[in-house]
């Protein structure tokens, strides 16, 4: 009977896992030699495709749990990323809710991106690469902590915790749902005090999803940077390939994919800072010329969760924009009127009606004109302006016959409301005449007497 080792060997042969060339140098021996250089250059490695990877430079940081490896890169500002303006924008511009604590300017916050050993959650998922972006001296300093071996995880987490403690909060991309939970789970295992769940946090993914979901193919960070800044990554790994690349490094000591993983994380932090700047610009001045009406409309819809007055002001810029279509203005009318009725903001309704007074019927759809007319009479008690708005709806080219008949009857009703009331007759003022008329009214509807 074959032994267990022989049977496993046979299964490996059937799956094609035998006779795989192993690296000549042991992984632990290579990193031990690297540690002695104290951050010196790693030997240049060649990928299977023949492309030579750039030297990976780094340093060691001493912690109570031992040394941990990290590398730093300073990214200079460019025309696409004028990060010097980050100091002018407060962090509260990007807060998702009004109760979110966002203090200081965006230049004081830390931009966080994490690469993990798996795409799911759970305690077994490790954060083997943590990228932190700091704004210092007019440049973006990106510090990347890399997990060379699994026994260095507490040292890496301790170093990350110390860097985060000095910042008012963190900025991530989908980190509220994934990144911070991975780090918090691992820190909790080592009894570390920092609670990332309660730490001030700004997540830019909900903003991107609100603005471009359904317009772009997806809202991944790579798609956002390609659409906004025409930036395309070369020799970049997909996010789904990063865990397998680190697994190959752990099991077989292959280093050729590590440089691509580090560059992928570096570009994520870089694009994260640029996206925060662009969103802060748009939120600070939604009526700027560089912002189209569709994006303003979506920004206002996201702002409803924070400040309804702010959302109505942004919708007002969409309503008066020259590039806004009739369907987009109609969406603003229907959603904005619901907000106005809920919070009883009749001053906004009066401003919108005044702006629509001298517009053509093509400005809105017929249903939008009729809805504004209804709100004008119902809540502003102005039959004259309500009639004018309803006339604009009837002048519209595309009106369904049932709607036209209904609006004509409503227009006739408004005409009667516009007319001044008739003066009372002398007979109607006397109680006797009133009693007589009421008696006549009642006698006319009385039932015949029974014999």
Largest CA distance in the chain: 125
pLDDT at 16: 41
pLDDT tens digits for range 236-290: 888 888 888 888 888 877 667 888 899 999 999 999 988 988 888 888 887 766 7
pLDDT at 408: 92
pLDDT at 98: 58
The CATH code that applies to domain 293-418 is 1.25.40
Q: Cα–Cα distance between 331 and 316 in angstroms, integer?
A: 12
**Pairing of β 201-203 and β 170-172:** parallel
Q: Does residue 27 have a pLDDT over 60?
A: no
Alpha helical stretches, state H, 40-196: 153-165, 180-189
pLDDT at 24: 43
Q: What count of other Cβ atoms lies within 10 Å of the Cβ of residue 37?
A: 12
Q: What count of other Cβ atoms lies within 10 Å of the Cβ of residue 233?
A: 14
Higher pLDDT, 435 or 197: 197
Query: Domain map of the chain by residue range?
Result: 37-283, 293-418
Write the DSSP symbol of residue 177: I
pLDDT at 48: 35
Q: Kindly list the distances between the CA atom of residue 355 and the CA atoms of 50, 51, 55, 256, 275, in Å, as whole numbers in the listed order.
A: 66, 63, 63, 63, 34
pLDDT tens digits for range 340-349: 999 999 999 9
Alpha helical stretches, state H, 94-194: 153-165, 180-189
Determine the Cα angle at 396 with ends 393 and 401, to 5°.
85
Specify which residues 113 forms β-bridges with. 131
- Residue 288 gets the label, from left (phi > 0), alpha (psi -120 to 50) or beta, of beta
Q: Does residue 191 have a pLDDT over 80?
A: yes
Q: Does residue 116 have a pLDDT over 90?
A: yes
pLDDT tens digits for range 28-87: 454 444 444 434 444 333 333 333 333 467 889 999 999 999 999 988 766 566 666 667
Which CATH superfamily does the domain covering 37-283 fall into?
Ribonuclease H-like superfamily/Ribonuclease H (3.30.420.10)
Contact predicate 295/156, CB 8 Å: no
**What mean pLDDT value characterizes the chain?**
79
Q: Cα–Cα distance between 193 and 154 in angstroms, integer?
A: 13
pLDDT tens digits for range 388-425: 999 999 998 888 999 999 999 999 998 887 655 545 54
Write the DSSP symbol of residue 219: -
% pLDDT > 70, the chain: 75
Over range 88-105, report the average pLDDT. 75
Lowest mean per-residue pLDDT among 90-99, 146-155, 299-308: 90-99
Higher pLDDT, 248 or 372: 372
Over range 186-200, report the average pLDDT. 87
pLDDT at 311: 93
């Amino acid at each position: 009977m074959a032994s267990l080792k022989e049977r496993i060997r046979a299964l490996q042969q059937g799956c094609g896992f035998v006779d795989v060339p192993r690296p000549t140098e042991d992984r632990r021996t290579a990193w031990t030699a690297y540690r002695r250089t104290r951050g010196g250059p790693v030997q240049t490695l060649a990928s299977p495709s023949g492309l030579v990877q750039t030297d990976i430079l780094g340093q060691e940081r001493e912690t109570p749990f031992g040394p941990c490896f990290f590398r730093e890169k300073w990214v200079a500002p460019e025309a696409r990323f004028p990060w010097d303006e980050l100091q002018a924008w407060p962090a509260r511009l990007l807060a998702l809710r009004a109760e979110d604590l966002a203090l200081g300017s965006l230049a004081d916050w830390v931009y966080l991106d994490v690469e993990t050993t798996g795409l799911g959650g759970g305690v077994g998922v490790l954060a083997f690469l943590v990228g932190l972006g700091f704004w210092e001296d007019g440049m973006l300093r990106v510090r990347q902590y890399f997990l060379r071996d699994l026994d260095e995880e507490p040292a890496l987490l301790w170093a990350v915790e110390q860097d985060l403690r000095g910042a008012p909060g963190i900025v991530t991309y989908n980190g509220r749902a994934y990144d911070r939970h991975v780090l918090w789970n691992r820190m909790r295992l080592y009894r570390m005090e920092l609670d990332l769940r309660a730490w001030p946090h700004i997540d830019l993914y909900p903003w991107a999803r609100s603005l471009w979901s359904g317009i772009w193919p997806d809202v991944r960070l790579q798609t956002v940077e390609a659409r906004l800044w025409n930036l395309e990554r070369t020799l970049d790994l997909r996010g789904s390939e990063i865990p397998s690349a680190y697994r190959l490094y752990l099991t077989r000591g292959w280093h050729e994919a590590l440089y691509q993983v580090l560059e992928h994380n570096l570009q994520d932090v870089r694009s994260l800072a640029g996206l925060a700047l662009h969103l802060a610009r748009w939120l600070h001045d939604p009526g700027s010329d560089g912002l189209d009406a569709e994006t303003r409309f979506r920004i206002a819809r996201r702002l409803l969760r924070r400040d309804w007055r702010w959302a109505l002001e942004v919708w007002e810029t969409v309503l008066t924009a020259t590039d806004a279509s009739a369907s987009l203005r109609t969406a603003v009318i229907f959603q904005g009127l619901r907000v106005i009725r809920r919070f009883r903001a009749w001053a906004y309704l009066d401003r919108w009606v005044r702006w629509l007074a001298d517009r053509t019927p093509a400005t809105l759809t017929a249903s939008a004109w009729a809805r504004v007319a209804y709100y004008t009479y119902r809540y502003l008690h102005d039959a004259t302006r309500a009639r004018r708005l309803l006339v604009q709806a009837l002048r519209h080219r595309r009106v369904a016959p049932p709607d036209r008949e209904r609006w004509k009857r409503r227009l006739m009703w408004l005409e009667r409301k516009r007319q001044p009331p008739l003066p009372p007759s002398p007979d109607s003022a006397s109680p006797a005449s009133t009693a007589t008329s009421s008696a006549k009214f009642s006698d006319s509807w009385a039932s015949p007497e029974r014999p």
